[in-house]
Structure formats: C-alpha cells, structure tokens
Amino acid sequence: MRWCSPILGAILGAVLGVWLLLLTGSIVEAQQAAPAASNIVARGEYLARAGDCIACHTAPEGRTFAGGRAMPTPFGTLYSSNITPDRETGIGKWTAEDFYKSMHYGRFPDGGLMYPAMPFASYTKVTRADTDAIFAYLKSIPPVNQRNREHDLRFPYDNRQLILGWRTLFFSEGEFKPDPSKSAEWNRGAYLVEGLGHCGMCHSPINALGGTSQSDAFKGGLIPMQNWYAPSLTSNREAGLGDWSIKDITDLLQTGVSMRGVVYGPMAEVVHNSLQYLNDEDTRAMAVYLKGIAEGSSPPAASSALPTAESSLLISLGKTVYDKNCASCHGAQGEGKPPHWPPLANNQSIEMQSAVNPIRMVLNGGYPPGTKGNPMPYGMPPFAGLLSDNEVAAVVSYIRTAWGNRGTPVSAREANELRSAPLN
C-alpha cells in the first residue's frame, strides 16, 4: 500500500519538496521500444526497474532483491520478501503462472492473500507478457538464501483474512484498458504510471482502512509514518504539470532536476532506482500522460490558522533568516539558479496547503539523486541544528508568502513536530 512504499509509487513528486499506456496493438508497439524485445531477460530487467522492485525488496545494507526491508505502517511493520530464485527461501520453486498470480491477483502460489503493501492493485494492470519478462529476469539473478522475516502487525491486522474485506473495497482486478480517444503515447504513459509505476500508491489520499478511492487517484496525500507529503498530480497548485513543458517534465523524471524544480525526499529514491533507467520514449510518454491529467482549475487558496499579528512577526523574522542562510543559493527574490538550485518564487511545492515538505527541507536538507543525466547533484544542507523552531517556522512562512507566493504561514509547533520525523 501507499503507506508502506515510497517506491516508485510516486511519480512526480516534487518540485522542491518531495518533491512528482492505445489500443492493444499500440501497447505492444510501444513496449517493443524497450530494450531488447527479443531478449526476455533484458526486457524483464528494464520492466523491473520501471516497477522499482529493488526499492522494497532490498534492505539497507542487504543483498539485492533478498527482501527484509522494514515498511512501517499505521498497522504495524511489514517486511518485504525474498524474490531471488533461491529454491528454499525465495521464488525458486515458483512458475511463471505463480508469479502472474502474485502480480495480477495479489495471491501466493498456494492461494494465500498478500498484504496490499505489495502494489498488486496497480500491478494487476500489467500485461501477462510484461509479467513473464520480469519473472524471467528475476529467475536469472543470483539466488540468495535468506528467510523472510515475519511481519510485526498489531491485532487484528495480523489476521490475513481481513485482507478479503480490503480487497472488496479497494481492489479491482484487470489489465490496463487503453482509452481509444487518446494517443498511443498518452496510453503508454498511463500504462506505466498507473500500472508498473504504481504512482498512485504515494500520490493518492489514503483512508483509515489503508485504501484509496478511485475517484481520488493522484490527488495527493501525506505518506503515513514517513511524514512526507506526496503532492497532487492533478492540481497545478501542487505537482500538477499542466503548465510545464514536456522537456521540463522529462528532465525531472530522468535526471532529478529541471528548470522548474528538483526532486528530493522519497521521490529522489524513485528517480535514482527507477526512472533514470527508462528510455526516452517511455519517459516522454509518462510526461505526456502526467501533463494530461492536470486539472484545468485550481482549488481555492489556502487559509491560515495563525493570528495576523503572529504571522507578520514570523514573516519579518523569516526574511532575516532567509537573507542570511538561503539567498546566496536561491536568490534575493527567490529566483533560484536552475536547474541545480530551484526557484522558490512561483514554486507549487512551496505554496501547497500542506507545509510538511518545505519544513522538512529546511530541517533535514535536500539531496537530489545522482543520475546518469546529473551525476554530480548539488544538495541543500540541513538547518535543524542551526535554527530554532521559531526560526524554521519564520523562514518557511516567509518563502511561502514572499514574491507573489500564495502559501500560508506555519507555526513553530508544526516545525517542532517534524524534527523527530524519520529521515528514511
């Protein structure tokens, strides 16, 4: 589920903060643009990268795809499984049909139910041919003998039968159906974003049951337990890309930086592990789709709960803090020095209703991913040890309201609450 996975579940995160498909015949045509259509293993590796499988199935300091990565959720901690071809502890005894059942139906070979941290609600849209290619690739990698770790879920969430209820409410099995009114490129992008990319896992609001309504897909939400806000991909006031050029979007996806913004936080991992490896055609297709789902109208401007006098004092102090610590990189007028130092003026991620991301950026700093297109990224240092809660709130309030930005001030209490947020 989204709350478990910063994985690619997320495509376009952010600008600064966290950031950001045809008729059946056309899908096949587009897929053949991927590497080595005649080599199922190479093709499977490409698709596994598109699905960002490595992010969840590799623990820190662990062996690749051997599982064991802890995924904290509001219901307890899940641990990813070993998907290397080890016959005792991995998927060595699985068949291609078994693997398809896991991807398409969210079930183990014996019919058991998978927790929806495995994004089968998205992967169900992946074609059988693509699923078989990924399986062929996973069967080709070195086996790792490492037993899966038991999940640590609270009662009653440790009862897998409860997943039946979740599936009834939030899971619809079925491969991607192209929209015949859209272009082949748009549909290819939709296939990648909605399916393998499982971007909705992060960029959709999640309810108390850990599910998402289809009508709210890609409308943004706070990632539980991680305390990052995955902005809406449909609202141009957040990460919606309706007014971005295709080049700026593809630059952000492939390199992590663009003239409009830079990815940080969980989205940086997505770019590093997954998106940078996609070919130009697929990246452009995703950009076309993401640009196309932006809504025409923007929601009303955010309102502040802080008293006017307190806001004025914070903003005044914030300018002093900004001029001393930030202006040398981001410019006296928030103009930035793109692509490496993003502009803060007219930056959607700064103005969003949620101030979580800019507060975390100031506290923890920001580190764009090293990619083929940007091998030596410039990072932003953390200020948690230099600035008080009041100063953090002040500078965030200033950048959210200066230079024509339409954000709202934030309080010292909000800054303090995020000091203890996990860094990973």
**Ligand-binding site membership of 199 (annotated):** yes
Q: Are 121 and 114 in contact (CB under 8 A)?
A: no
What's the chain's length in residues? 424
Query: What 3-state class would DSSP assign to 39?
Result: coil
Closest to 151 (Cα-Cα) out of 215, 53, 229, 70: 70
Q: List, as one string, the DSSP characters of 317-338.
A: HHHHHHHHHTHHHH-TTS--BT
Q: Residue 45, CB half-sphere, CA atoms under 13 Å: how many?
A: 9
CA triple 272-277-278, angle to 5 deg = 125
Using CA atoms, how far residue 199 sits from 4, 63, 217, 274, 282, in Å, is 13, 25, 9, 12, 15
Closest to 153 (Cα-Cα) out of 79, 260, 243, 223: 79
- Rounded Cα–Cα distance for residues 331 and 326 (Å): 8
Query: What 3-state class would DSSP assign to 228?
Result: strand
* Residue reference for tokens 């500078």: 395
Using CA atoms, how far residue 324 sits from 245, 248, 331, 358, in Å, is 33, 30, 11, 18
Query: What 3-state class would DSSP assign to 223?
Result: strand
**Ligand-binding site membership of 4 (annotated):** no
Q: Are 271 and 20 in contact (CB under 8 A)?
A: no
**Ligand-binding site membership of 272 (annotated):** no
**Ligand-binding site membership of 53 (annotated):** yes
What are the helix (H) ranges across 178-219? Answer: 184-191, 200-203
Strand partners, 65: none
**Ligand-binding site membership of 57 (annotated):** yes
Q: List, as one string, the DSSP characters of 377-424.
A: ---B---TTTS-HHHHHHHHHHHHHSTT-------HHHHHHTTTS---
- Rounded Cα–Cα distance for residues 303 and 119 (Å): 35
Give me the phi and psi of 392, to 5 degrees please: -65, -50
Which residues participate in the annotated binding site for heme c? 53, 56-57, 199, 202-203, 326, 329-330
Which residues participate in the annotated binding site? 53, 56-57, 199, 202-203, 326, 329-330
